[in-house]
Amino acid sequence: MTERISDAEYAVMEALWAESPLTAQEVAERVGPARDWSANTVKTLLGRLLAKQAIVHEEDGRRYLYRPAVKREDYVDGESRRLIDRLFGGRLTPLVAHLAERDALSPKDIEEIEALLKGLKQ
């Protein structure tokens, strides 16, 4: 998958990562009500995701079943890397410093980061 997905497409992906395969109607039932989307809107998003090769589909009688073509972990890894590369020159330390300067780290966040760093040192 080379193209980035939009926030709307990401909502559809979340539904498919949670459970798949799903029909377009099933995706619409899981995603549509919270966002006030029609089934046609969801079908449009599914079409875009197919074009981006983020999902695949298979025929099941007169309907299609959709499933992710990319694992959620792989997508998150790629997006995280792009964010860090674009905004922080590929370095994680400036990101953490930025969050700390903006008081965006809770005491629990700091504790978890310290534990992670301690584990990495061992």
pLDDT digits (tens, 9 = 90+) for 57-115: 999 999 999 999 999 999 999 999 999 999 999 998 998 889 888 888 899 999 999 99
Note the pLDDT of residue 1: 64
Average pLDDT for the chain: 93
Note the pLDDT of residue 122: 81
**Cα 50 to chain centroid, rounded:** 15
Taking residues 15-41, what's their average pLDDT? 94
Residue 59, CA distances (Å) to 15, 21, 23, 56, 81 in order: 19, 11, 10, 10, 35
Read off the pTM.
0.80
Instruction: Give burial (CB, 10 Å; 0-12/13-18/19+) of 10.
Output: middle
